[in-house]
Chain A
Amino acid sequence: MTATTEQQLSLEDARAYLLDRARERGVTLEVYGERGTSTSVKAFQGEVSEFKLSARQGVALRALVKGAWGYSFTENLSPPALDRALDSAVENAELVAPEPGAGLQNWPPPPALDLYGEGLSGVTVEQKVGVALELDRAAREADPRVTSLPYGGYSDSDAQRLVGNTEGLERGARELHAMQYAYPLVSEGGQNKMKGDWQFTREFTELDPTRTALSAVEKALALLGAKPAPSGTFPAIISGECLGELLALFSVMFSGKMVEEGKSPLAGRLGETIASPLVTLLDDPTLPRGLNSRAFDAEGCPSAPLALIENGKLAAFMHNAQTAARAGTTSTGHAARSGLQGTVGVAPSNLILQPGRTEGTAVASGLTGVRVTGVSGGHAGANPITGDFSLQAEGFWVEGGEVQHPLEVFTVAGNILDLLAGIEAVGNELHETQYAVAAPDVRVEALAVGGA
């Protein structure tokens, strides 16, 4: 085990230290750093069941040696550990095949984007605990059929992100979020159901735990009294929340990296019609309240909105600087790292399927079939290489446009591109999901359902 007496540098000092050492050695280097403090509080049966405080920081390195990238990371920010990390990144680069187009840039400045708000320094521990307790109380008192709130709580984070490279780039940003979630368990006649709601904000004072708890209870209660689903192919309403989940599972199809490696069914189809003309899909990193908003990406490239599908036509792929160079285009600012341990890939920020013109319940007008309100099991049941999905679903039986009753656990199956092509109506209200995808309700002509 490493000695505990080694001095730890700050994130900025670690970046400067590494870039200095790299310049001395003539190594082209990118340093990405993250530091965050967070609090999370869970409440159960009127008491705080868990209280968690964290402070975490670390740097990820990417060294370019003879056209090849080598990666490493370290959470130990002592100078000897930083030296080891630099050695390791260089050693790794020497093993890797050179990548055409690999390079670092000193990008222009990012857009001004306030993702920090008032901050959390004026918020006391008691206030945070109060949110979790209020969620628990309000959910349990809302209805006698609520058994408990097994998953409910508050969390926040105050995060700093920085990027720097030996080409002279230096970027830094601070982001804050506070959120609450409630997943009540409800029970009636031997049937158990669980469903929830959540709220995300950049200002603590905007949190409304009572409202989230009541809405969560309402969603869970709506699932009671479920009857077996029929098996067959039916017209369907895909709720905005459910469509958001599906799009999140398949968003990698739009990644320039997946296209390049032959893992996207959209490869070679830019400009083609791939969806119903009612479909316009945007990625917007600059939304002030987006879950994944950011002013610059993991390479320091400035962020801007990007249309992926425009009126049914495939308009763009997402790129980082390296995939863009090989595709003969420029970065769209979608370089992404998942934490410090991964490599630099490509990922969406906030996806939005643009709302349409069909008002509210008119999306279901005259429909006899299913209303699907959620899917699960996506990490295994959705294949972004083929677009195929077969997933556990939750929803309701609809007759003549009216919801009749909830359905017992069933499945939906299909292909995401067929589903997007088959959209007949798009609702005019956006629903946000915890997957950073917002979408309206849509109607499709046919969806395969597996039930009793």
Chain B
Amino acid sequence: MLNESLASEVLTLARSGGADFAELFVEDTVSTTLRLHQGEVKDAGGGNLFGAGLRLLYGPRVVYAYTNDVTESGLRDLAEQVARARGGAGEVSREGAGGLDFRRLDAKPLYVARDHPLHAAKRDKLALMRRAHGGAAGVGDVKTVDVNYLDRVQRVLIANSEGLWAEDERVWTRLSVSAIAQDGTLRETGYYGPGSGQGLEFFDTVTPENIGAEAARIANAMLRAGYAPAGKLPVVIGNEFGGVIFHEACGHILETTAVEKNASVFADKLGQKIAHESVSAIDDGTIPGSWGMVTVDDEGMPGERTVLIENGVLKSFMVDRVGELKTGYKRTGSGRRQNYTYAPASRMRSTFIDRGEETPESLIRQVPLGIYARKMGGGSVTPGTGDYNFAVNEAYMIRNGEIAEPLRGASLVGNGAQDLRNIVGVAGDLALGQGMCGSISGSLPTDVGQPHILISEITVGGRA
């Protein structure tokens, strides 16, 4: 464990070039990765990510440095290097002006893993994977099944020149199944990969068999599907991972990282109506055991529940320390980073559209001709323009208010600011889905979520 006097010395030394603020982030992460292909163990790996990052702020300007050499001399070298990084401005002095008086942050963990992945045998993890394989193999036309397992235990220390001392352990577990259904030359894939901020007890509620079965169901449902049509149509989007639409279309441009550069179409819209009144959206780091859970963020601030949009009105952005300095909005415990190689940035946690009044059936009944996007794939957005896209993994035509034939190869594209206004119906069946979100501070576990929603018009990319 890093002792307080070394941390104090490093932070003081780092600031000796004139920085307003210094922050040390030390990480020791142990991970396990396993892969089954056709029921056989193909890959077993994992390892130890280990390093420290040092961030200096000069006003809102960031200097960041990191190293794997987490020894006393390695950390001192890093501090001296980072103090000089602004091109020799300021004097590097070894004379410390007394030690920092650290205050330990006493944040109660939101969830404590019961069946901790570091204490479980790999054989038990393989047993879970075999159950998932069994849920998919041979179902319908499924010919190929891959099962991936991941657990990651990240221990962090965050200390800063304001005297903060925060330690945290984050546990993530995830099991995903990819199934390929094949009939002659026809082939289609199905994927399902739930994850959590819990230990292996997560798989008591979301069983491995069901994860496998869901991947197989999608692959079979899509195998003989025709191609989706192209053009503007009304779309009903499924719950759970369907929330990726809000994540891409709106979430990213509500992060201060985009707002502070005016690279967000919502930058000056606080307090204004930006969505249909049926839409409320929340970014929540405090859901116990969730994939996006943040007991403390990577700047050492406790996570919180942030209402982004209330009945269509923009209420808040997601704000990190630098975002607060640049925009004046209060921090929301949203400073996150993949690991010590990244400076933190404002990032999503568990982001979802809140439940509404309708039912999925009532939304579908409102559509004479359109698309039911039941399972979404991933997506992306261009922050400056708000133009986004995402792929649909399981889709059906809606004809005369009823679900009709399956469709393959659909994507949806649009513009966040516009389409938010086109959400005209929200059901009550809110559920969260898990994904990895890539942005400037790396790839992070985030939940997306929503109930079923109806969008009056969106561009569908197909080829029929």
**A interface residue numbers (CB < 8 A to B):** 1-8, 44, 47-58, 60, 69-77, 81, 84-85, 88, 91-93, 95-97, 124-126, 129, 147-148, 150, 183, 185, 192-194, 231-233, 261-263, 265, 340-343, 376-377, 379-381, 383, 385-386, 388-392, 409-414, 448-452
Give chain B residues whose Cβ lies under 8 Å from the Cβ of A147.
262
**In the complex the two chains form, what is the Cα distance from A4 to B383 in whole Å?**
40
| CB nearest to A377 among chain B residues | B389
Is the pair B69, A8 in contact by a Cβ cutoff of 8 Å? yes
Give chain B residues whose Cβ lies under 8 Å from the Cβ of A52.
62-65, 343
CB contact between A376 and one of B70, B232, B382 (< 8 Å): that residue? B382
Is the pair A148, B261 in contact by a Cβ cutoff of 8 Å? yes
Give chain A residues whose Cβ lies under 8 Å from the Cβ of B463.
233, 390, 413-414, 448
Given the interface pairs A126-B87, A390-B228, the reply to whether A413 lies near B377 with Cβ below 8 Å is no
Is the pair B231, A451 in contact by a Cβ cutoff of 8 Å? yes
Is the pair B414, A2 in contact by a Cβ cutoff of 8 Å? no
| CB nearest to A147 among chain B residues | B262
Is the pair A381, B75 in contact by a Cβ cutoff of 8 Å? no
B71 adjacent to chain A (CB < 8 Å)? yes
Give chain B residues whose Cβ lies under 8 Å from the Cβ of A451.
230-231, 459
B97 adjacent to chain A (CB < 8 Å)? no
CB contact between B64 and one of A7, A53, A192 (< 8 Å): that residue? A53
**In the complex the two chains form, what is the Cα distance from A44 to B257 in whole Å?**
12
| CB nearest to A150 among chain B residues | B263
| CB nearest to B3 among chain A residues | A4
| CB nearest to A2 among chain B residues | B28
Give chain A residues whose Cβ lies under 8 Å from the Cβ of B213.
none
Give chain A residues whose Cβ lies under 8 Å from the Cβ of B265.
192
Is the pair A76, B390 in contact by a Cβ cutoff of 8 Å? no
**In the complex the two chains form, what is the Cα distance from A412 to B463 in whole Å?**
8
A30 shortest CB reach to chain B, Å: 13
A442 shortest CB reach to chain B, Å: 19
Give chain B residues whose Cβ lies under 8 Å from the Cβ of A54.
65-67, 341
Is the pair B28, A56 in contact by a Cβ cutoff of 8 Å? no
A222 shortest CB reach to chain B, Å: 14
- Listed from nearest, the 4 A-B pairs whose CB atoms lie closest are A411-B461, A450-B230, A448-B463, A71-B45
B119 adjacent to chain A (CB < 8 Å)? no
Is the pair B71, A192 in contact by a Cβ cutoff of 8 Å? no
Selected interface stretch from B197-205, B310-318, B403-411: B403-411
A393 shortest CB reach to chain B, Å: 8
Is the pair B50, A74 in contact by a Cβ cutoff of 8 Å? yes
Give chain A residues whose Cβ lies under 8 Å from the Cβ of B33.
341
Give chain A residues whose Cβ lies under 8 Å from the Cβ of B28.
1-2
Is the pair A388, B409 in contact by a Cβ cutoff of 8 Å? yes
**In the complex the two chains form, what is the Cα distance from A93 to B122 in whole Å?**
12
- Contacts beyond the supplied A125-B86, A343-B45, A390-B461: 18 A-B pairs with Cβ under 8 Å: A8-B68, A48-B61, A52-B63, A56-B68, A58-B68, A60-B47, A71-B47, A72-B45, A81-B48, A88-B46, A192-B384, A192-B386, A232-B230, A263-B144, A265-B187, A342-B45, A390-B228, A450-B461
Is the pair A383, B189 in contact by a Cβ cutoff of 8 Å? yes
Within 8 A of A (CB), among B42-98: 42-51, 60-72, 74-75, 78, 81-82, 85-88
B460 adjacent to chain A (CB < 8 Å)? yes
Q: Write 27 A-B pairs (CB below 8 A) sorted by A numbering.
A: A1-B2, A1-B28, A44-B261, A51-B63, A72-B45, A72-B47, A75-B49, A75-B50, A76-B48, A76-B68, A77-B68, A95-B126, A148-B263, A232-B230, A261-B37, A265-B187, A341-B45, A343-B45, A376-B380, A377-B378, A377-B411, A381-B411, A389-B409, A409-B415, A410-B459, A411-B460, A448-B464
